[in-house]
Structures are given as structure tokens and as C-alpha cells.
Chain A
């Protein structure tokens, strides 16, 4: 593919092309680091398009294009996209966080296969206080972060950071209308790889109760109670899945045992399963916490 064809040489006379290696452009985040991605930037250096390079080329080849022509067509079509992620971000800030511009921003991220989500999350948080509803913009940042962590970004730091983001948001806004929905995402997404989910939820609900503002105390109490109930329900589901495991060598076994905080079984199942790639730091953390619990 990278061997220079005449078509590619001609294209390169008009459009500069760069091979990035592992360097991600435009402060983007990427979950599937093993795939090849195609990024387009307009003449202002703003990101306008991202796609899975292999899938897009394969699609065009199936339609009968030669490989060089498939690539040239991809570039030509991509260059017709006028909106950039930066222009969608600017529109949101200028409108002080209108619903319409937020929908446009989400559509743009969907077009970019959610690559760039975390950059938008940071931007929304940095500018939340300047928006007409700071709480709504913080909630939107959180919803984009949840979407990114569940679909696009996978690394321990991002998952841990999401848990803290949700805990802090709910501590500050225990009355928020989407609070229960956020607790659901907290348990399903943010604590998916947490050792001893029940222990973590206990600490968090204690903190919510203890540090709530006077006017929020009733809401914080109700929220803490809700977290406890939903946590128990979640762990019941995890226990059911443990009962259905065919073997402790199953790929899911360490995570399920870790979630219920069964230190001995976590260590045993970790010894029986392979650790690779993005799971290594997560497995390391489980091993440390399980070992500490066994020694207690």
C-alpha cells in the first residue's frame, strides 16, 4: 500500500500526506490502537475527518476501485467535508452551550468515530463556568466521557478518571435529574474493572453523606441510598455470572472475582489467565489489592 504508485505521487503534489507511526494528531484518543486510521485536516490545520483506513479501502475495493484509486477517492471525498471538530467546538462556546450546538458537536464526534471525544470533554470542563448552565455543560462533558470510555478509550487511567468524574459531579449535584442514570453508568462503565466494587461504593456514599452542603443533605442521603441499592443489584448480577462460569480459566473470571472483592479467587484466576495489552495495568492493580486483602 505504501509503495508509491503514480496516482499517489500525483495526489501528493496537491495534498501533503504524513505517516504518523504511533503519534496521534490533534490531541486525539484512540481505543483500537492496532488499527490504521485516516485523518484529514483542512487548510487551517483543523481536524475534519477520521475513518478506519482498512475498512474504508476494503469497501471501495469491493466497489471495483484499484487500491491506489480507492485511496485517491477517499482523500478527495474527505476533503469535501467542511465542518471541523474545532468549528463545532467554537459554535458550542459562542452559543454558551445551546442544545443545538451540542447536538452538532455530538454528530461531529460520531462522524469521527468518537476519536477526539476526550479533547472535547476537557474543553467543555474548562469552559463550563462561562456557559449559560455550567452544570449542564459539566453533565454533557461527563456523558461524552462515559461514551468515550465505553466505546473508544480503554486504559486504566481513563477508566479511573471517569469514576472520579462521576463521583465528584454527583457530590456537587446530588439533585441532578439524571443522577440515577449516572449511577448506572458509574457501576456499569466506570467500576467495570474495580476491585471490590461494594467497598468503593460504601466509601463514596459515606463521602456524599458526610460532605454534602446543608441544603443538599437530604438529596445526598437519597443518592447514597440509591447507590447502595444499585450496587447490590449489580453485584448480584456479577455473582450470577460467576455461577455460570464454565472454568476459572475463563477470560472474564478475574474481572468478576475482582468486582465482588474475592481476593483469593481473583489471584487464582489471574494465575490461570493470560494478561496482555491494555489489561496489564488493570490486572496488576487487582493483584496488588487482592494480595493486600489476603494479608489482612
Chain B
């Protein structure tokens, strides 16, 4: 019974997080990795300095 409650709670927690990730049109991770990935794909990059999802 307790196990089921934990699983249900985790699913409910995970759904909004996943939904938020899908909605936000921003890359996550370090700037260096972001730039390297775009360079490898031949894409330009925009970096917004001083922004994070909490402060913005």
C-alpha cells in the first residue's frame, strides 16, 4: 500500500516537471556545453547572461 502511494506521488511530481521542460524554449546545462553542441550542429547560439528560471 505504502509503495503504491510513493509511486503515485512520484508520478504526480514528475508530470509537472516534464511538462515545464517541454514548454520552456531554453537549453539547460552549462554555457560551454551549449555552445559546443550548437557548433557541432552548425547552429548559431543566443546566451542570456544573468538569467535563470528563478530570477527571470
Contact = CB atoms under 8 A, between A and B. Distances in A.
Contacts of A296: none
B48 A20 contact: yes
A12 B26 contact: yes
Interface string B36-47: 111100111111
Nearest to B47: A39
A4 B22 CA distance: 10
Interface residues of B, number: 28
A1 interface: yes
Contact of A16 (B23, B34, B52): B34
A23 B24 CA distance: 20
Interface string B5-33: 00000000000000000011111011110
A34 B50 CA distance: 8
B48 A38 contact: yes
Contacts of A15: 43-46
A18 B45 contact: yes
Contacts of A169: none
Nearest to A8: B25
B27 A17 contact: yes
Contact of B46 (A1, A4, A39): A39
Nearest to A35: B50
Contacts of A34: 50
B46 A16 contact: yes
B23 to A, nearest CB: 5
Contact of A40 (B27, B46, B53): B46
Given A18-B34, A45-B36, A45-B38, A25 B53 contact: no
A102 interface: no
Given A9-B25, A12-B26, A19 B45 contact: no
Interface in A183-242: none
Contacts of B43: 15-16, 43
A11 interface: yes
Contacts of A38: 46-49
Contacts of A37: 48-50
A12 B25 contact: yes
A137 B47 CA distance: 31
Residue among B31, B36, B37, B39 with the most chain A CB within 10 A?
B31
B51 A43 contact: no
A30 B45 contact: no
B30 A17 contact: no
A8 B23 CA distance: 11
A75 interface: yes
B25 A19 contact: no
B44 A20 contact: no
Given A19-B56, A23-B49, A24-B49, 9 more contacts: A1-B56, A2-B51, A4-B23, A15-B44, A16-B27, A39-B46, A41-B35, A41-B45, A43-B43
In order of increasing CB-CB distance, the 7 nearest A-B pairs are: A12-B25, A2-B56, A45-B39, A37-B49, A39-B47, A41-B45, A19-B51
Interface of B: 23-27, 29-32, 34-39, 42-53, 56
